[in-house]
Amino acid sequence: MPKLKSRKAAAKRFRRSGSGKIMRRKAFKNHLLEHKSTARKSRLSKAVVLHESDCENVELMLPYL
pTM score, whole prediction? 0.84
Q: What is the pLDDT of residues 41-62, one digit of tens each?
A: 999 999 999 999 999 999 999 9
β-strand 48-49 against 22-24: which pairing, if any? antiparallel
* Mean pLDDT across 1-13: 95
pLDDT at 48: 98
Q: What is the pLDDT of residues 9-32, one digit of tens each?
A: 999 999 999 999 999 999 999 999
β-strand 48-49 against 14-16: which pairing, if any? unpaired
